Amino acid sequence: MKNIAVTVSPHRGKKYKLNKKRREALEGWAFVGVGFLLFLIFIAYPLIKNIMMAFMNYSVNPDKPSTFIGLANFKKAFFPGGAINESQKFYLSLRNTLLAVIVTVPFQWFLGMIIAIIIESLSKGKVLYRFLLYIPVISDWIVVAILFKYIFQDTRGALVNSILLSLHFISQPVSWLQNEWTGNIVIWALCIWKGIGWVMIMYTAAIQDLPKDIYEAADVDGASKRQQMWKITLPLLASRTYFIIINLIIGAFNIMLQVMLVTGGGPMGKTDVLLDYMYNKAFSSFDFGYAAALSLIMSVILIIISTVQRKITKDVEIQF
């Protein structure tokens, strides 16, 4: 019997191992790569595509090619013309959006802040009151819209009309959702009611972070609770107030579901806001290029407001 010599390679059966530095680099690039890929797909590409659409007569029909039309979509928004005169609808929706910001933001901010300060000063029931006031924030928009449509009905038996009639503030039931200004008032009331709880929670967290030794020193000096609120609490909350107001402004510009579910933009589009108007132009009229132009206009307005507010409030920020 012949002897067969078998040569075994010294490298066979051994796994190639990366050193620690290379392994950490690969893991890091893997995490960054996934995040960067998601950023490109869901943020960068839609943003660039939206900017391109704003300068085009965009068509989703493959048999009808999209054409470049320059600033025509922006001209249609700002300058009157054509049989439909879209500029009138644009300015109406812009007016309603700005009014929503002017009305809802101060009320949400002030009431939420005062309620947070009052609840924090209580000795009992803090958690219960916060929970009850936060319920509107987590409530579904459809449920809340149905609730407001019900209590603001135009009949005598509706809750709001019944209360106003019993107090002799009105002599006839008000058609709240069928009139331009009363419809806007209902939408504003819904936004304020649903947003106060969020402001309250934000200020509650900020108040609990305030340094306690300042209040102890104020107590020693004989400062009253009211004096402490005006001289200590409110100035120390200035930096948090900037963040809260910016978010409230952005939220007010994003009003859409309130209009669609409560008034539907009626009567005759008189309660339309920018997002509601933009949505209808895109998915009802299929004018995607014009809707994209409206989104860019809205973005520029938000950037300007944020920049101006930042310059106004930069000297009042207090770190602690």
Mean pLDDT, contiguous 10-residue spans, the chain (320 residues): 52 58 81 88 92 91 87 91 80 94 95 90 88 91 90 89 91 90 94 94 88 82 80 82 88 90 88 93 91 93 85 60
This prediction has a pTM of 0.83
Distance CA 245, CA 251 (A): 10
In what helix (H) or strand (E) does residue 308 lie, and over which residues does it extend?
Answer: helix 288-313
For position 131, which CATH number holds? 1.10.3720.10
> Which residue range forms the structural domain that includes residue 38?
20-73
Q: Residue 41 carries which DSSP code? A: I
Claim to verify: residue 209 and residue 177 sit in the same structural domain: yes
Distance CA 73, CA 287 (A): 10
Distance CA 99, CA 184 (A): 9
The token pair at 114 is: 């005062």
Residue 126 lies in a domain: yes
Claim to verify: residue 62 and residue 100 sit in the same structural domain: no
Residue 14 lies in a domain: no
Distance CA 108, CA 249 (A): 11
Residue 240 lies in a domain: yes
Among residues 31, 56, 73, the one where a domain terminates is 73
Claim to verify: residue 50 and residue 181 sit in the same structural domain: no
The sign one gets for the Cα dihedral 49, 254, 284, 291 is: negative
Looking at the structure of the chain, the number of domains it has is: 2
List, in sequence order, the alpha helices (H) in 224-287. 225-228, 234-236, 238-253, 257-262, 274-283
For residue 299, give the nearest of 50, 41, 44, 39 by alpha carbon: 50
Residue 219 lies in a domain: yes
- The confidence score (pLDDT) of residue 100 equals 95
Residue 7 lies in a domain: no
List pLDDT tens digits, range 101-154.
999 999 999 999 999 988 988 888 889 999 999 999 999 888 998 899 999 998
- The confidence score (pLDDT) of residue 230 equals 81
Burial label for 231, CB within 10 Å (0-12, 13-18, 19+), is middle
List pLDDT tens digits, range 33-52.
888 899 999 999 999 999 99
The percent of the chain in helix, strand and coil, each rounded to the nearest 5, is 70, 0, 30
Contact 265, 259 (CB under 8 A): yes
